[in-house]
């Protein structure tokens, strides 16, 4: 893989690989204010739950560096996208540092910079641990179906569900990834295929509607997806189309795994019903690039995420272990284990 990270802190600015331009071009954005970071998250220049959490943390460091009102910066960043809980988790961590801080401006900036760097480095370590924890679940020869993009681009590095595929490949397993294209933003076709190509991992891109057919025709061994928010009962919000995939997997008797760091588990949200689902602009559906593909005047509904009910999920792989049902018991135990390891 090339030596860039999707998110790099440069001391006075955050450098992001603009994911809207992949695979046509590798363009880096230089962000210097919390407003610029919030806009990069909103417009999906940076995307993927862990990546937006880390980006927002650096947004707070930028605010402190400029001597800005931190409560205001915090609100601007919180308003950027609603579903991925990692955004709020990271901003809560930053808030625990700045709220009631007693040092001068420089000391406050250094403390927030250090916390943002910790969040970023912990994410990389968590992703590697997720990949290793999942190894026993992956057959030595495995056809794996994946949705959206959950790789290095969606995280600080390595990735969650794609990280599992990568680590299995590096461990010598013969993996073949079937990548859902993931309409309407095409994260699977554009970003996951880009990453798999760079890593030299065998893969095939399919349209979202082909997944049932591919399960039947090729005998998929497992489905692995990421998550934007996992409720206390295991219900999981992830990219739109994940729920359909889980239903198709159940019908075909295929294990369905969710891979996510414990920062994606939201024990305060009891079930999927309470997870806010982002709705995005109709133009994402009505247009492919500059070409209109839906007749003028036809109404569009464009939810960015759906919720897969816990009963369709075989297991949830985290950095501190694998949660199996009943998730109401296994998830709090893993969150406590992660908090203990952090303290």
Secondary structure tally for the chain: helices H, strands E: 11, 16
CB of 114 to ligand MRU, least distance (A): 24
Give all strands (DSSP E) within 247-335, no chain letters.
Answer: 256-259, 265-266, 287-288, 291-292, 305-308, 315-318, 321-323
| 12 vs 279, beta carbon nearer ligand MRU | 279
CB of 229 to ligand MRU, least distance (A): 9
Q: Which residues bind ligand MRU (CB under 6 A)?
A: 47-50, 84, 148, 150, 154-155, 160, 187, 226-228, 238-239, 304
CB of 127 to ligand MRU, least distance (A): 8
C-beta nearest to ligand MRU: residue:
226
What whole-number distance in Å separates Cα of residue 149 and Cα of residue 186?
9
Give the active site residues: 228
What whole-number distance in Å separates Cα of residue 173 and Cα of residue 151?
18
| 18 vs 101, beta carbon nearer ligand MRU | 18
What whole-number distance in Å separates Cα of residue 166 and Cα of residue 168?
5
Bridge-based pairing state of the strands 141-146 and 174-180: parallel
| 160 vs 314, beta carbon nearer ligand MRU | 160
Q: How many CB atoms lie within 10 A of CB 155?
A: 31
CB of 81 to ligand MRU, least distance (A): 7
Give the H or E element holding residue 229: strand 229-231
Q: Are 125 and 319 in contact (CB under 8 A)?
A: yes
CB of 12 to ligand MRU, least distance (A): 27
| 46 vs 64, beta carbon nearer ligand MRU | 46
| 113 vs 123, beta carbon nearer ligand MRU | 123
């Amino acid at each position: 893989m090339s030596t860039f990270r999707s998110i790099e802190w440069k001391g006075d600015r955050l450098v992001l690989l603009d994911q809207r331009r992949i695979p046509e071009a590798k363009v880096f954005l230089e962000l210097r204010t919390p407003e610029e970071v919030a806009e990069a998250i909103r417009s999906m220049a940076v995307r993927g739950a862990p990546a937006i959490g880390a980006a927002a943390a650096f947004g707070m460091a930028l605010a402190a560096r400029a001597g800005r009102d931190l409560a205001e910066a915090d609100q601007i960043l919180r308003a950027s996208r609603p579903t991925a809980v990692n955004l709020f988790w990271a901003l809560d961590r930053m808030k625990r540092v700045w709220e009631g801080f007693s040092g001068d401006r420089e000391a406050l900036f250094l403390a927030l910079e250090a916390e943002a760097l910790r969040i970023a480095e912990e994410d990389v370590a968590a992703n590697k641990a997720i990949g290793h924890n999942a190894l026993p679940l992956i057959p030595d020869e495995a056809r794996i179906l994946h949705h959206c993009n959950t790789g290095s681009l969606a995280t600080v590095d390595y990735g969650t569900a794609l990280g599992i595929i990568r680590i299995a490949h590096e461990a010598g397993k013969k993996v073949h990834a079937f990548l859902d294209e993931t309409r309407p933003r095409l994260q699977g076709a554009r970003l996951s295929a880009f990453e798999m190509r760079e890593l030299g991992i065998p893969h095939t891109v399919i349209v979202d509607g082909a997944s049932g057919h591919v399960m039947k025709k090729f005998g998929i061994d497992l489905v692995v997806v990421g998550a934007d928010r996992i409720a206390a009962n295991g219900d999981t919000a992830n990219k739109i189309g994940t729920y359909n995939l889980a239903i198709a997997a159940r019908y075909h008797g295929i294990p369905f795994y969710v891979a996510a760091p414990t920062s994606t588990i939201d024990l305060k949200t009891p079930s999927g019903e309470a997870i806010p689902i982002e709705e995005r602009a109709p133009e994402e559906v009505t247009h492919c690039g500059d070409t209109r593909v839906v007749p003028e005047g036809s109404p569009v509904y464009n939810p960015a995420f759906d919720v897969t009910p816990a009963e369709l999920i075989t297991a949830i792989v985290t950095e501190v272990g694998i949660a199996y049902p009943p998730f109401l018991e296994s998830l709090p135990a893993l969150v406590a284990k992660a908090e203990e390891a952090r303290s």
